[in-house]
Amino acid sequence: MFYLSQCGIVCASGSTQAAVKASLFERAEPTVRLSDAWSVGRPIPLGMIDAGTCLPSMDDRPVALQSRNNRIALVALAQIRPAVDEAIARYGADRIGVVIGTSTTGIAETESALREIEKQGSHAQTPAWPASFHYAQQELGSVAQLLSVELQTSGPAYVHSSACSSSAKALSSAARLIGMGLCDAVVCGGVDTLCALTVAGFASLELVSNKICNPLSANRDGINIGEGAALFLMTREKTSEADCVALYGWGESSDGYHMSAPEPEGRGARAAIESALKRAGISAAQVDYINLHGTATPQNDQVEAQVVHALFGDAVAVSSTKPFTGHALGAASALEAAVCWLTMQDDNPQGQLPPHCWDGARDPALPSLNLVTPGYRLNRPVQWALSNSFAFGGSNAALVLGRA
């Protein structure tokens, strides 16, 4: 097992652990909200980080590393920084890795720069890029480079970008780096930022809902895109008595069925879940809670419901937390792993679970699942949690977290 000793989180539900827990367990209401900031003239629900969240200045960093994506990553890093610094002091900078999942990196900065170019008009023979822009801002490896520079570490530092499974793969890779003896600790997780490209791209696929997303409902009609970050400090050894959650298992598969549609029988998704359970050394019957990928698109929910019911029946408690975060693409897996992590902490001894927010209209075409209602408790700590992530191109990942 690999301890997840610290967790930093920022998303539409809040920019601290306490704020996110209050959103999930006290208010238990969707936190996506209408905006046309990335779809001018067409307000749609988005999982936006609150405008009041203080993002750190990056004016003292190289322009190539300056992006909103990286600023959001720094917010999450600040929450775990003391523990990371202790790990660096204990193991050495060369023994600390950085593995992150992302999709958008600095695309929003490129969009802004292109708007500046357009303002110069056709009379400009050689358009001048704004001084605030550097093409490296949108390179996928930017966030891993930033964190490595910020922490002054020299261990492996790289990024996964496989759409919605990116940050689940980042956690899996972190465990492998430690397991192979290449690192003693890894800063791992995911970060993604809203931008016009992803909003327009998903809208062109007719996957974006004009309402709050409605996972597993008969009325579901698409996703709400979101943004955020969740970072963990992963270690092989227990660093404090507060370490109570670990990554026990992970599973990955690639069904290669279609660029954007899931394989109808869910064989790849099932293989990923079964692999995660096997690696964790537990049975399906031992799982207390499943955080569904639960995008609220017709096909994803159909396939996932089939697979979950086939493996777990209708007893295990399940929910999709996308209405609390939006679908944060490359950060989605890490955010949902963080939701599981928060649920499994010692300050939740009664095992209150993240609720499934929807309109209650069951789809007769879907098998019955045990959807978590607001305030539901196991009346004991959550021992085992499964988090599913199923991405474009058939890139499937599943994580098993357990109390250590």
State residue 73's pLDDT score.
98
| Residue range(s) defining the domain that contains residue 92 | 2-403
CA 290 to chain centre: 15
Q: What CATH number does the domain containing 57 carry?
A: 3.40.47.10
Could you give the CA distance from residue 176 to residue 181 in angstroms, rounded to a whole number? 8
* Residue 50 CB burial class (10 angstroms; 0-12, 13-18, ≥19): middle
Do 297 and 222 contact (CB within 8 A), yes or no? Answer: yes
pLDDT by residue (tens digit) across 24-49?
999 999 999 999 999 999 999 999 99
Instruction: Kindly report the backbone phi and psi dihedral angles of residue 218, in degrees, each rounded to the nearest multiple of 5, phi listed first.
Output: -65, -20
Specify the 3-state DSSP secondary structure of 136: helix
Element at 333 (helix H, strand E): helix 332-343
Low-confidence ranges of the chain (pLDDT < 50): none
**DSSP per position, 17-49:** HHHHHIIIIII-----EEE-TTSTT--EEEBPP
Q: Decide the pairing of beta strands 317-319 and 2-10.
A: unpaired
Q: Which amino acid is at 298?
A: P
pLDDT (0 to 100) of residue 240: 82
Is the CB of residue 236 less than 8 Å from the CB of residue 186?
Answer: no
Q: What does residue 392 show for φ and ψ, rounded to 5 degrees?
A: -50, 150
* Tokens (6 digits) for 86: 């202790």
- What span, in angstroms and rounded, lies between the C-alpha atoms of 126 and 134? 17
d(CA 200, CA 38): 8
Six-digit token string for 284: 């399906």
Q: Are strands 395-403 and 245-254 parallel, antiparallel or unpaired?
A: antiparallel
What backbone phi and psi angles, to 5 degrees, belong to 232?
-120, 155
What's the CA angle centered on 344, arms 342 and 346, to 5 degrees?
Answer: 95
pLDDT of residue 262: 81
What are the backbone dihedrals phi and psi of residue 182, each rounded to the nearest 5 degrees, phi first? -85, -25
Q: CA angle at residue 226 from 80 to 318, to 5 degrees?
A: 80
pLDDT, residue 124, reads 62
DSSP H helical segments within 135-266, as ranges? 142-151, 166-179, 196-204
Q: Cα separation of 350 and 378, whole Å?
A: 6
Query: Cβ distance 129 to 115 under 8 Å?
Result: no
Letter for the amino acid at 352? Q
DSSP 287: -
Residue 167 has a pLDDT of 97
Q: Find the Cα–Cα–Cα–Cα dihedral 149, 154, 156, 157, rounded to 10°.
A: 0
279: enclosing H helix or E strand: helix 267-280
360: left (phi over 0), alpha (psi -120 to 50) or beta: left
Amino acid of residue 266: G
Q: What is the pLDDT of residue 282?
A: 98
Dist CA 333 CA 104 (whole Å): 15
Quote the CA–CA distance of 289 and 273 in Å, as a whole number. 13
Residue ranges of E strands in 255-305: 289-291
Q: How many domains does the chain have?
A: 1
- CA dist list (Å): 18 to 9, 47, 227, 327, 343: 10, 18, 18, 21, 12
